């Protein structure tokens, strides 16, 4: 996840290790989903971000 934090800044991947923290959810709302976001992750699926 540390590498993905460099590739996809703004999602706090290094700080959340894939879990839906407030910073990560804010990144999803601001930046949208990335290619590495799980479609089954409910904030991605429910918001139609995938």
Per-residue 3-state assignment (H helix, E strand, C coil) for 1-50: CHHHHHHCCCCCHHHHCCCCCHHHHHHHHHHCCCCCCCCCCHHHHHHCCC
Q: What average pLDDT values come out for the chain (50 residues) when binned by 10 residues?
A: 93 81 90 89 75
pTM for this entry? 0.77
Q: Is the distance from CB of 9 to CB of 41 less than 8 angstroms?
A: no
Tell me, what's the pLDDT at 38? 87
Give the separation between CA 25 and CA 19, rounded to whole angstroms: 9
Tell me, what's the pLDDT at 20? 79
Give the separation between CA 41 and CA 4, rounded to whole angstroms: 17
């Amino acid at each position: 996840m540390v590498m993905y934090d460099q590739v996809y800044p703004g999602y706090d991947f290094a700080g959340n290790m894939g879990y839906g923290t407030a910073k990560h959810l804010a990144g999803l709302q601001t930046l949208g989903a990335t290619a590495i976001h799980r479609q089954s992750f409910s904030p991605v699926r429910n918001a139609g971000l995938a």
